[in-house]
Chain A
Amino acid sequence: MTSLLHWFAQIGSIAKFGLLSIPQRRGAVAATVIGIAGVVLVLVGVLSIAAGFRRAMTASGSPDAAIVLRSGSDSEMVSGFGRNETRLIADAPGVARNAQGPLASAELFVIVNLPKRSTGTDANVPLRGVESAAVAVRDNLKLTAGRMFAWGKNEVIVGDGAAREFGGLEVGGSVKVGSASWPVVGVFTANGGVAESEIWTDAKVLQDAYHRGDSFQSVYARLNSAGAFQEFKDALTSNPQLNVKVLRQSDHYADQSVALTTLINTLGVLIASLMAVGAVFGALNTMYSAVAARTREIATLRALGFGSGAVVVAVMLESLLLALAGGAVGGLVAYLAFNNFHAATMNWQSFSQVAFAFAVTPALLVMGVVLAAAIGLIGGLLPAIRAARLPIAAALREL
């Protein structure tokens, strides 16, 4: 027990030497710390794009909310139903009801060209035609400005994200659809979900404007309970008059986000790993020179009876502390710079824009700090071993 304490005391005093000498080597130390901070900043920054996109896509849909598409369709864009089919779906067992009837909304999903505020160039903004149950089948939909559109009139309400990203989408503004101009009468939020990127209007109005006859592309439904999903799904898939695919809304949107989040995550990890390799070289450099500058002290301590294990641990400890400082700085800067940064990008599955906010999540910050620690440990290991293996006599002769 005492020998263990003794050992820790040895580590402590060697590490203290190292830390106290940092001001003398401040240039190299700062380079290492800032270098590691840069790696963590890039890793967390890039991955926060994917995390934010995923959050926007999956914030939509509680477990009792379902979406029905034509089978074989990956997105609403290529799905299609006639009026008869949407009626059969709305009347299926498991669908919740209120005084007005089943909580199911047959919807149309198209895009409209509107200029992106940031660039002024056209973007494919999603335009959704809904039925009166639309608000009830979604979670947390709230009007934050203006009013709901009037049914049967050429009016629209717009999601908060769409209003922010695309030109003309504020109360009092308008959306040009062909020669007609549809006034924007309200702005809504949907708990950060994907609906916030959309423009909504009455499905009937949209059918006429886009020459879609009496057809729809999807049915959104609120079920009696989360457990009613299987019953609802079985009833629809076994109905010979229908050829459909039934999903929970949350699963549908999670599927839609997979391709883009995978791409960003792969690129982000690849870039950060390459940078990490560079940072390891930087850390190795710093620690090697730290050890070289202290050759005599270390040799003296070893001559006084300090163990070589204690030297290794102390040098690695110093390297680890520098790396953690870098990781903390990088994570903090990433959080301040990127968290809640608003952007919009193309979701290829639905061929339309999704507005989202970068999300620097705790998991990402932990990942960044772990990476920093790994860089510090790897960068400290070889110099530590060199320090421990110093031939004492030769090193002392340099005195």
Chain B
Amino acid sequence: MKFFHLIWGNLTRKKLRTSLTLLSVLVAFVLFGFLCAIKQALVGGVELAGADRLIVRHKVSLIQLLPESYKGRMERIAGVAAVTHQTWFGGIYQDPKNFFMQNPVEPEPFMKMFPEFILPPDQMQAWLATRTGAIVGRKTAERFHWKVGDKVPIMSPIWMRKTWEFDIVGIFDGAKKGTDTTSLFFRYDYFDETRKAQNWGTGQVGWYTIRAKDPAQAAVVAKLVDQEFENSPAETKTEPEGAFAQGFANQIGNIALIVAGILGAVFFTILLVTGSTMSQAVRERIGELGVLKAIGFTNGQMLALVLAESCLLTVLGGVLGLGLALAMTSRGDPTGGMLPMFYLPARDVLLGLGISVVLGLITGIFPAQQAMRLRVAEALRRM
């Protein structure tokens, strides 16, 4: 640490060059943070999935419905602790661009199944007391400036092909940072009663969520459920919530690969810029480095001196860049609804800091070796 002054002095001797390099490193880390947030938004569902929860859907496709009567049969299967269901409503609020999910659910079992949705107890009571009541996540409530007590008209092109009206009785928050609070949930009994008039779909639901008594037995439970409904008109496919979310993310494409590809290009570029700056800095200082060696600096110290300089540069850029990325992403989804889980996770911030150190080591290593291998007499001649 006693050499900090020397390292800092070396960095600040060419202020313009150092700040330009610093800025390009900073930009790279802003991009890193931003892309990590996008990746999180697209694949984050996988890690938020409950380890003991399973999704049961129609084997042929997600758009086909399952009988509501399956609930009782599932509850009797060994290893099943709880069962609840949801159905895709696909409603439109004012404009199709205002996309968010709305599903009819059975309030009590639903809220027990998904403890990550936090609803004040009085609002839960109000929901149980109001047949047309609906609860909505914080993000969507803020997006459309809805308050408890508002009446919200939502047009469903699938169900009844009419505009349904819901009373907002509660606004829920997420227990974890990435919890999706963009959905609206309303009562299944109201839904099922109303859709009787269209003579289609009554008594059928979209998909089930099962809680296994023991997460370790989840795979066994999944097999038992699928066996139960084998050879029936509506066969099922059961898989852990995480696998379901992963499969869904895979439908969009190989996001991790695309993000890694872009970041690879970005860091390679920055590596070149910083690396050329560092070697230039060392070349210019060969005489001084010779003096340092002459007065007794060891090879190791020379190496450390140059590496510390390059690392200081990249880590400073990394910290500033990641800080800026955190600030940029903290305002949430930039697309207005398409990426509800858009945020920069702490894990990726740490990864970014790690990368900034590695970047410093790689860009510094060649100039540092050059400095270490200096022959004193030769270097001094260049003074």
Cβ-defined contact, B157 with A111, below 8 A: no
Cβ-defined contact, A42 with B24, below 8 A: no
Q: Report the Cα distance A34→B269, complex, angstroms.
A: 7
Q: Which of B74-82, B140-148, B178-186, B247-255 contacts A (4 or more CB under 8 A)?
A: B247-255
Cβ-defined contact, A281 with B273, below 8 A: yes
- Per-residue interface assignment for chain A, residues 252 to 276, with 1 indicating a CB less than 8 Å from any chain B CB and 0 otherwise: 0000000100010011001100110
- The answer, yes or no, to whether B371 is at the interface (CB within 8 Å) is no
Which chain A residue has the least Cβ–Cβ distance from B99?
Answer: A348
Residues of B within 8 A of A27 (CB): 276, 279-280
Which chain B residue has the least Cβ–Cβ distance from A262?
Answer: B335
Q: Which of B28-36, B285-293, B345-353 contacts A (4 or more CB under 8 A)?
A: B28-36
- The answer, yes or no, to whether A116 is at the interface (CB within 8 Å) is yes
Cβ-defined contact, A285 with B60, below 8 A: no
Q: Report the Cα distance A210→B59, complex, angstroms.
A: 12
Given A110-B63, A179-B235, A263-B338 in contact, is the A285-B266 Cβ separation under 8 Å? Answer: no
Q: Report the Cα distance A179→B276, complex, angstroms.
A: 64
Cβ < 8 Å to B, chain A residues 1-52: 27-28, 30-32, 34-35, 38-39, 41-42, 45-46
Which chain B residue has the least Cβ–Cβ distance from A266?
Answer: B335
Q: How many pairs, one residue from A and one from B, have CB atoms within 8 Å of each other in the complex?
A: 152
- The answer, yes or no, to whether A100 is at the interface (CB within 8 Å) is no
Interface size on B, residues (CB 8 A): 54
Cβ-defined contact, B338 with A259, below 8 A: yes
Q: Report the Cα distance A351→B64, complex, angstroms.
A: 13
Cβ-defined contact, B269 with A279, below 8 A: yes
Given A74-B96, A110-B63 in contact, is the A278-B246 Cβ separation under 8 Å? Answer: no
- Per-residue interface assignment for chain B, residues 232 to 256, with 1 indicating a CB less than 8 Å from any chain A CB and 0 otherwise: 0101010000010011001111100
Residues of A within 8 A of B266 (CB): 38, 42, 275, 278
Q: Which of A120-128, A156-164, A315-323 contacts B (4 or more CB under 8 A)?
A: A120-128
Which chain A residue has the least Cβ–Cβ distance from B235?
Answer: A178
Cβ-defined contact, A35 with B273, below 8 A: yes
Residues of B within 8 A of A121 (CB): 243, 246-247, 250-251
Residues of B within 8 A of A395 (CB): none
- The answer, yes or no, to whether A191 is at the interface (CB within 8 Å) is no
Write the nearest CB–CB distance from B37 to chain A, whole angstroms: 11
Cβ-defined contact, B250 with A178, below 8 A: no
- The answer, yes or no, to whether A345 is at the interface (CB within 8 Å) is yes
Cβ-defined contact, B338 with A178, below 8 A: no
Residues of B within 8 A of A279 (CB): 24, 269
Cβ-defined contact, B59 with A113, below 8 A: yes
Q: Which of B13-21, B124-132, B299-307 contacts A (4 or more CB under 8 A)?
A: B13-21
Q: Per DSSP, are chain B's interface residues mostly helix, strand or loop, or mixed?
A: helix
Q: Report the Cα distance A35→B254, complex, angstroms.
A: 26
- Per-residue interface assignment for chain A, residues 66 to 103, with 1 indicating a CB less than 8 Å from any chain B CB and 0 otherwise: 00001011100111000000000000000000000000
Max chain A Cβ within 10 angstroms of own Cβ: one of B28, B60, B233, B237: B60
Residues of A within 8 A of B27 (CB): 274-275, 277-278, 281
Size class of the contact patch on chain A: 35 or more
Q: Report the Cα distance A90→B277, complex, angstroms.
A: 71
Q: Per DSSP, are chain A's interface residues mostly helix, strand or loop, or mixed?
A: helix
Which chain A residue has the least Cβ–Cβ distance from B270?
Answer: A278
Cβ-defined contact, B24 with A124, below 8 A: no
Cβ-defined contact, B231 with A179, below 8 A: yes
Given A277-B27, A281-B21 in contact, is the A346-B251 Cβ separation under 8 Å? Answer: yes
- The answer, yes or no, to whether A289 is at the interface (CB within 8 Å) is yes
Which chain A residue has the least Cβ–Cβ distance from B257?
Answer: A118
Cβ < 8 Å to B, chain A residues 349-378: 351, 353
- The answer, yes or no, to whether A284 is at the interface (CB within 8 Å) is yes
- The answer, yes or no, to whether A188 is at the interface (CB within 8 Å) is no
Q: Report the Cα distance A41→B269, complex, angstroms.
A: 11
Which chain A residue has the least Cβ–Cβ distance from B88?
Answer: A351
Identify which of B61, B155, B280 contacts A111 (C-beta below 8 A).
B61
Cβ-defined contact, A288 with B157, below 8 A: no
Cβ < 8 Å to A, chain B residues 296-347: 334-335, 338
- The answer, yes or no, to whether A177 is at the interface (CB within 8 Å) is yes
Q: Report the Cα distance A113→B251, complex, angstroms.
A: 11
Cβ-defined contact, B273 with A282, below 8 A: yes
- The answer, yes or no, to whether B6 is at the interface (CB within 8 Å) is no
- The answer, yes or no, to whether B38 is at the interface (CB within 8 Å) is yes
Which chain B residue has the least Cβ–Cβ distance from A121?
Answer: B247
Max chain B Cβ within 10 angstroms of own Cβ: one of A27, A72, A113, A122: A122
Which chain A residue has the least Cβ–Cβ distance from B161?
Answer: A72
Which chain B residue has the least Cβ–Cβ distance from A77?
Answer: B63
Cβ-defined contact, A31 with B253, below 8 A: no
Which chain A residue has the least Cβ–Cβ distance from B18?
Answer: A285
- The answer, yes or no, to whether A343 is at the interface (CB within 8 Å) is yes
Q: Report the Cα distance A207→B33, complex, angstroms.
A: 48
- The answer, yes or no, to whether A390 is at the interface (CB within 8 Å) is no
- The answer, yes or no, to whether A119 is at the interface (CB within 8 Å) is yes
Q: A residues touching B (Cβ–Cβ < 8 Å)? A: 27-28, 30-32, 34-35, 38-39, 41-42, 45-46, 70, 72-74, 77-79, 110-113, 116, 118-119, 121-124, 177-179, 210-211, 259, 263, 266-267, 270-271, 274-275, 277-279, 281-282, 284-286, 288-289, 343-346, 351, 353
Assuming A121-B246, A271-B31, A282-B24, what are 7 further A-B pairs, CB within 8 angstroms? A30-B276, A121-B247, A121-B250, A271-B262, A278-B273, A281-B23, A285-B24
